[in-house]
Amino acid sequence: MAKARGDAPTVLSVAINGNRAFADGAIRSTLAQRQTSVLHFIPPFTFFQPRYYLDDTDWQDDRTRIANFYAVRGYFDARVVASQVAPKGKARRLDGEPKYVKVVHTVVEGGPSVIRTVAVVLADERLRPALEAAIPLHPEARFTVEDVEGAEVRLLAVLHDRGHATGAVTTKIDAYAEEHAVDVTFTVVPGPVAVFGEVFIRGLDKVAERYVRRHVSVTPGADWDGSVVRKMQRSIYGMGVFSMVTVTPDLSGEHGSDASGRAIVPVNIALKERHPRSFEFSPGFAWDIQGFTLQPADITFGHINLGRKLIQATANLRGGYRYLSPSDHFPTAALELELKWPDFPARRLTVRAGAKVELGVEKGYKFWTPSVTTGLGWAPFKSLKLDLSYNLAFFDLFAAHIGPLPDLISPCPEVGKLPGQCDPPSDILSPDFPDNYLLSYFRQSVMLDLRNNPLAADKGFLAQLSVDEAFPFGRLADGTLLGFRYIKVSGELRAFVPIVPQRVVLALRAGGEHLQTWGDEHVLPVSERVYIGGDGDVRGWKARYLGPRGLEDDCTSGDCIVPLGARTGVSGSVELRARPVGGLWIAGFADAGRTWGDGSTNTLVKDPELQALEEALYAKDGLQFSVGGGVRYDLAIGRVRLDFAARIRRWPAEFIGIQERFPWNIHFNLGESF
């Protein structure tokens, strides 16, 4: 009799011995008996990583599953020679049975089979060149059932793309285990050339059919083309309101032929609507060397079919507390509303509008800001997106306590002292830090995304560019501009090169920003200046610390630095990622970055000695490097990442007034670094 779940021991590991051709994780993913992750015993992850108990039927039937795993990959003589359950550790239950166990399967793999011959049997020889060119199988290549099934799908696609909607492909596999050889034969029956019939849509309830019809790109009577059917399915699914979309030809043969004798093939579209309303509660906690953020409230309400017009509405409310230093800690809150109307006023166009009110804290100041935005997006292709928006915001900075620009002051005779501690005191230059300002600007952006997986890419590249044009509303009576006047250009390139497919990936990133003012305007808003440092660019630095910085004028902690931002900045990264087993990834990386110019006027530096110090900083120590490594683990909620990064050299003490305590940083986050 099988034991009840609570009476069975917990399985801590399922191990495969004797396997050389395939990793343990690849084999374990096909087994019924699962192993309990070590993350289950860490409270934050217990909910996402369940406990697995020993099931006598499952672990014994896994012997057959292992044999099948090898067979479909061409190891026809592989066999499981032993399977056993052994105690894991010394912990015992009250009845004396082990509390934790491990399951061990021992296999003898044998040798892999190779493809000896590939043949295509068909009556219409005109199709042979296209069909044979589509087959990815070649003699002497390793045999797998997956590759053969993929070849069958490609043959069908060739038929459908050439108008043979009723075409069929059957596959025969002759395996010779003793010879480690396989003969593959595809029998192709093209059937008559077809034309499109009517398109029937089923499964609609709250979504009006006219919105789906926008994505129907076929005309009854037109030549059949399978590629059009596939694109239509992707387009309808991309509407975001369906959990299932299937687009299939009606091959019943009951719809007759047209005047030319071509078969009429209707198209059936079956849909399953998503629930339009959603609610999400996702509190969180974030920590790094710079400080921590506690966010007990993060509530999102959503609707994907407002007014039954496919208008997507989202309301997000966040509240928490952020601590950066004894002088910089404050409650944080944000209320954000967004409306998006896809395919309006035409297909592939999206109109959006949003409003946000935020209260927060940064090093050296606290702020609150209301903002509104409206924009128009266009996606002419799945991988290409263009966007135009207008943005208006008001920034109120309060409780600011920012002192001098340390890279623009004379150093003390004794390195490590603050300017006020010098004898005599150093000259103090106050940064130009605008407050209570309006920001009005247009933004144009373009993004080309050819990554295979936007959340965890291991192949492809991403290129994006945006341009902001800020303009003032006018001038006050004293001549002060009501707003700012500048152009900001930002760009980034990311590339992902698979060294070993799905195992080793080389990731590359390069990006930069530049702000250019004109006329008599030199001051830049602190929110739009260029900041470098932290997760996502140069990881050995705290967030936004790489660049011009000021000092807190009333500092009681060891870190008195206030990032002030720059006019120009560049950064780049090289990262090598490897997956040794299962969902575990390890990475090694090197980052580099630098900035030019401060974010206020360009006339602050007048003293030749100070100017020489600044030039030396940018010329000799401007480009800063960090190196490090980390681990990632794939969970159901995404990829969890822990990175450690250290700077190769410290920022010169004479430019920061004091030595920073940590020339390294730790990043813990959900998702990839880039």
Structure confidence at residue 557 as a pLDDT band (50, 70, 90):
low
Most confident of 381-385, 480-484, 569-573, 621-625: 569-573
Segment 19-39 mean pLDDT: 89
Confidence of residue 276 (pLDDT cuts 50, 70, 90): very high
> Is the pLDDT assigned to residue 7 strictly greater than 90?
no
pTM more than 0.75: no
Cis peptide leading into residue 380 (ω within 30°): no
Please tell me the predicted confidence (pLDDT) of residue 413.
38
Measured torsion, CA atoms of residues 221, 222, 224, 227, in degrees rounded to the nearest 10: -140
Q: Is the pLDDT of residue 624 over 80?
A: yes
Per residue in 363-402, pLDDT tens?
878 899 999 999 999 999 889 999 999 999 999 888 766 6
**Does residue 658 have a pLDDT over 60?**
no
Q: What is the pLDDT of residues 407-428, one digit of tens each?
A: 333 344 344 444 444 444 333 3
Element (H, E) at 589: strand 584-598
**Which pLDDT score is estimated for 10?**
92
Distance (Å, whole) CA 311 – CA 302:
11
SS3 state at 266? strand
pLDDT band (50, 70, 90) for residue 269: very high
Mean of pLDDT over the chain = 84
Provide the percentage of residues in the chain whose pLDDT is more than 90. 49
pLDDT reported for residue 582: 76
Residue 406, pLDDT above cutoff 80? no
Give helix then strand counts, H and E, for the chain: 7, 28
Q: Is the pLDDT of residue 299 over 70?
A: yes
Q: Which residues contact 349 (CB under 8 A, 6 or more apart)?
A: 343, 376, 377, 378
pLDDT at residue 507 greater than cutoff 50: yes
Q: Which residues contact 535 (CB under 8 A, 6 or more apart)?
A: 288, 543, 643, 667, 669, 673
Query: Do 106 and 15 form a contact (C-beta atoms < 8 A)?
Result: no
Average pLDDT of 72-96? Answer: 88
Per-residue pLDDT, averaged over 481-485, amounts to 78
Q: In the prediction, which pLDDT does 289 show?
A: 62
User: Lowest-pLDDT range, 21-35, 281-295, 620-634?
Assistant: 281-295
| Rounded CA Rg of the chain | 32
Position 581 confidence tier, pLDDT thresholds 50, 70, 90: confident
Give the model confidence (pLDDT) of 310-364 as tens digits: 999 999 999 999 988 777 889 999 999 999 999 888 888 999 999 999 999 888 7
Which residues are CB-neighbours of 374 under 8 A, at least 6 positions away? 352, 353, 354, 389, 390
pLDDT confidence of 583, banded at 50, 70, 90?
A: confident
pLDDT at 458: 87
pLDDT at 311: 95
Between these two residues, 291 and 362, which has the higher pLDDT value? Answer: 362
The structural domains of the chain, ordered by start, are 5-108 (3.10.20.310), 114-189 (3.10.20.310), 194-273 (3.10.20.310), 405-432+476-674 (2.40.160.50)
pLDDT at 77 over 60: yes
Two tokens, residue 589: 């990386």
pLDDT recorded at residue 462: 96
- Is the predicted pLDDT of residue 603 greater than 60, yes or no? no
Residue 654 has a pLDDT of 43
pLDDT of residue 657: 40
Give me the helices (H) in 21-141, please. Answer: 24-28, 56-71, 128-134
pLDDT at 93 over 50: yes
> What is the average per-residue pLDDT within 617-626?
64
pLDDT digits (tens, 9 = 90+) for 192-236: 899 999 999 999 999 999 999 989 988 999 999 999 999 899 889
Residue 571 has pLDDT above 80, yes or no: yes
